[in-house]
Chain A
Amino acid sequence: MKNVKTVVPARAAWSSVVRTGETLTVTDLYGNQAVDFLVYDAHDTSVRYSAPDTIQAQGTIFLTTGSVLLSNEHTPLMTVVADDVGRHDTVGGACSKESNTLRYGHHTWSQHACVDNFLAEGVKYGLGKRDLVSNINWYMNVPVEKDGTLGIVDGISAPGLSLTLRAERDVLVLVSNCPQINNPCNGFEPTAVEMTIEAGRGDGA
């Protein structure tokens, strides 16, 4: 029985193909660590995660158990089948060196950021900048006030909490274990997470 565990160190990138029916469990080993996440149809990467389609289909901006991650063609890529936390972000996107200059100042330019992780990991599969879109931030907490004010605030995760995704087709997953140190998305101190891929749970996949 397939069971592949990988610890992704703080600030690092990770990727894998997850086959139809297999599950991917993301474990927040030390708590409050944002895990930036993109997913593509493994056989046609022009079909990729769509935050807008996922939001419009489920009628809410937060992800949890039962949420289906939809593609830009409104087809299912993965489903959240278990979640210890109850709320994950679809709105904030990835940090980049460029957006950091706007959010915090130009002194942050030499710091590492998620978009660079996505580019470095994606290029292994022939993906480039045109293939990056708004991503999921597992464990990141982005509330929206009545007047529209939004921001990344202290997380609601804790050490050892996890969520599990089931692949609804063969998918390519790109992860950036967020290196941001200027906001509470990871408590100002990036830490390691763990990725576990398992064979289908009794569905024969």
Chain B
Amino acid sequence: MATATTYGARDHARAQEGARAEAMPVVPASAWPAPPCEAGHLVWAETVAGGNYTHRVLARGTELRLTDLLGDACAHLLLFVADRPWERLNVADTVKVQWNAYLGEGRLLLSDQGRVLASVVADTSGRHDALCGTSTLVRNTERYGDGTPQSASPAGRELFKLAAAKNGLEPRDLPPSLSFFQGVEIREDGALDFTGSAGPGGSVTLRAEQDVTVLIANVPHPVDPRPDYVCTPLEVLAWRSEATRPGDQLWETTPESRRAFLNTAEFLAARGLA
């Protein structure tokens, strides 16, 4: 056997370099075949398998585009301020302050400190959810027979725990999350209607307005009624761009957004970060 010796095992392992998989990170990101930005500005290029997760720390001003390649991705997402993660996404403030329960272009993703973590700069999907969170081990075990990360039906919360741990965070650091590409609407009586996917190719682009830690789990939406665990690959691309500035349309969209950007700018200025 070629791997019977240390030299053979080494050669065998090294021979794998260059192999391709359907879902994988491309490193360096600049090797991505069709970048949506100026050549060399790409900092993250990855395809996340259904039932898998990824995470990255993004600098302020980075744009992050998520694409539902085949129509059954669901990007569950959490954001933390990179170097002080106790400031983090607050979905209640995000919907309450902006007077709207739904996500889409022009919405801000707000922290619990009255500041902007990221803004939604483009959206071709329109099927998103800020209320139902992600799936759990208990529920996936009931529905699919298993929910552990190594199973065929991993739960979003279990994947978030792993992604959080790799950023020094614990389960208690995981607040309610957002999900993109599988929609939920609310009826007048409060009941939920699952509206599913907009189809293949839908994308959402976020812009980091502070340095943020991003956790992403690509798992079925928790109220997806289909009996099978259906989740297809998610494309993740991020590139250097610029944060929202005074005078940008987004800054002035509403009185609430103006104050959120002002709070953020003052915080960053006091820290010497912007």
Tell me if A99 is interfacial: C-beta within 8 Å of chain B.
Answer: yes
- Assembled-state Cα–Cα distance A99/B101 (Å): 16
Q: Pick the residue among A45, A92, A149 that contacts B100 (CB under 8 A).
A: A149
| Most central of A72, A129, A149 by chain B CB within 10 Å | A72
Cβ proximity bits B158-184 to A, threshold 8 Å, 1 near / 0 not: 000000000000111111110000000
Tell me if B106 is interfacial: C-beta within 8 Å of chain A.
Answer: no
Contact present for B92 and A92 (CB under 8 Å): yes
Contact present for A56 and B132 (CB under 8 Å): yes
Q: How close is A145's CB to chain B, nearest CB, in angstroms?
A: 8
* B259-273, CB < 8 A from A: 259-260, 263
Which residues of B have CB within 8 Å of A102?
93, 97, 110, 114, 256, 259-260, 263
Contact present for B136 and A59 (CB under 8 Å): no
Tell me if B26 is interfacial: C-beta within 8 Å of chain A.
Answer: no
Tell me if A50 is interfacial: C-beta within 8 Å of chain B.
Answer: yes
Which residues of B have CB within 8 Å of A129?
86, 112
Stretch with Cβ within 8 A of A (4 or more), from B10-18, B186-194, B235-243: B186-194
Contact present for B172 and A52 (CB under 8 Å): no
With both beta carbons as reference points, the residue of chain A lying nearest to B140 in the complex is identified as: A74
Contact present for A150 and B99 (CB under 8 Å): yes
Contact present for A101 and B176 (CB under 8 Å): no
Which residues of A have CB within 8 Å of B35?
none
Contact present for A74 and B186 (CB under 8 Å): no
Q: Pick the residue among A59, A94, A101 that contacts B92 (CB under 8 A).
A: A94
Q: Pick the residue among B110, B132, B172, B177 that contacts A46 (CB under 8 A).
A: B172
